[in-house]
Amino acid sequence: MQFIPISYYLIFCSVLFCIGVIGVLIKRNALLILMSVELMINSINLLLAAFSTYLNDPAGQIFVFFIMVVAAAEVAIGLAIIVVIYRTTHSIDIDVLNKLKW
């Protein structure tokens, strides 16, 4: 019982992913970059769920739950780092944060 063809999901997720990528590339705000990364992760999640239904394999949907847990943890750490950076430099602009180099 499939109402939406798998190709729609594919196109939608690709678009979503590309938006995430472009967001990461063009934004200078660390917070927004983090959000763009989340967007990319979620597009993958959606794709996993779609394929899981399409192939009648529940493993994909179980995977999605794991990824969400990991993503939550990752966001917690990422946000914590950004908070600490802000406290020390009063900025979260990644062009300012270029001290880590040779």
**Site for other proteins, rule CB under 8 A:** 21, 24-25, 28, 30, 33, 94-95, 97-102
Nearer to other proteins, 35 or 94 (CB): 94
Nearer to other proteins, 61 or 78 (CB): 78
The least distance separating other proteins from the CB of residue 97, rounded to whole angstroms, comes to 7
Nearer to other proteins, 1 or 100 (CB): 100
The least distance separating other proteins from the CB of residue 56, rounded to whole angstroms, comes to 28
3-state secondary structure the chain: CCCCCHHHHHHHHHHHHHHHHHHHHHCCEHHHHHHHHHHHHHHHHHHHHHHHHHCCCCHHHHHHHHHHHHHHHHHHHHHHHHHHHHHHHCCCECCCCCCCCC
The least distance separating other proteins from the CB of residue 36, rounded to whole angstroms, comes to 10
